[in-house]
Structure 1
């Protein structure tokens, strides 16, 4: 598959969370900003559901233990492509907590952050709507289902 076609596909952006600490696991952004953080980007296969794409990536590629995907789904247009949608999904462990190595499974440079820490540090977060989305998730004021983040 050539790059033009892969850029037009929908993607899933899984937010791996630690609920008791209200933290999310982010990876360094590939932008020039050294204080930038982002989520993994998982291309969806034709006919694949949002949850299946996130599960495929986290269970098969990253080898995480069993997961639970929240019924809350954020939807954004893809900023680096004229077509395609990015879906943000919240993922937590099926058991009570993640194994300690979960951070390294996602990426060696991954870090746990609270939304308050990211704001206090002046970190650039992509997608920019992620912090408000996560605050809404933590506080319970976002409804289950798919919502626009634009």
Structure 2
């Protein structure tokens, strides 16, 4: 599959990482006692590529500095829109590291986590497949290109 989506119901979920193998998750969200840490959600415009949507949002809206997006793309259905898909992409700084204010650029309540910290604290994340996806990415188990996370 190429990097283009046409439905307008699809979203990109960027995993913003740094060099110590941490990922940036947003404030907990959830309904009635079920709280999960989550990735940002970016609505894709019809005909927009996955990487273009992530870059548009992170550079123009959040004002992150130069970034690199991994060729690895995780794909899974949206739980809140059955006809839509969500695409997980890994975003890292183009330079050696992010500026210290990168966390604040998303929201002051965002936190850096390692997958081990999230697992040991039994912290739920959204999407739930995220921890295995990131462990596979850091260990080099996952090939470049689009893979299903279902």
- TM-score for the superposition, normalised by structure 1: 0.92
Q: State the distance in 1 between where 2:53 and 2:140 align.
A: 25
Larger deviation: 126-135 or 32-41? 32-41
Matches within 5 A, 1:50-129: 50-129=50-129
Long gaps (5+) in structure 1:
1-7
- SS of match in other structure, 1:31: strand
Q: State the distance in 1 between where 2:101 and 2:34 align.
A: 24
**Residues paired across the two proteins, number:** 143
Q: State the distance in 1 between where 2:106 and 2:34 align.
A: 19
- SS of match in other structure, 2:29: coil
Moved over 3 A (4+): 32-35
Structure holding more helix per residue: 1
Q: Residue 17 of structure 1 corresponds to which residue in structure 2?
A: 17
**CA 1:83/1:35 → structure 2, altered by over 3 Å: closer, same or farther?**
closer
Q: Residue 30 of structure 1 corresponds to which residue in structure 2?
A: 29
Q: State the distance in 1 between where 2:115 and 2:147 align.
A: 20
Question: What RMSD over aligned residues (CA atoms) do the two structures have, in Å?
Answer: 1.4
Long gaps (5+) in structure 2:
1-7
- SS of match in other structure, 1:53: helix
Q: State the distance in 1 between where 2:142 and 2:47 align.
A: 27
Q: State the distance in 2 between where 1:72 and 1:13 align.
A: 13
Q: Residue 134 of structure 1 corresponds to which residue in structure 2?
A: 134
Residues 27-75 of structure 1, C-alpha deviation per residue, up to 9 Å, x if partnerless? 0232034752000000000110000000000000000001000000000
Q: State the distance in 1 between where 2:34 and 2:62 align.
A: 25
Q: State the distance in 2 between where 1:110 and 1:34 align.
A: 18
- Residues 29 and 35, structure 2, Cα contact 8 Å, conserved in 1: no
Q: State the distance in 2 between where 1:36 and 1:100 align.
A: 24
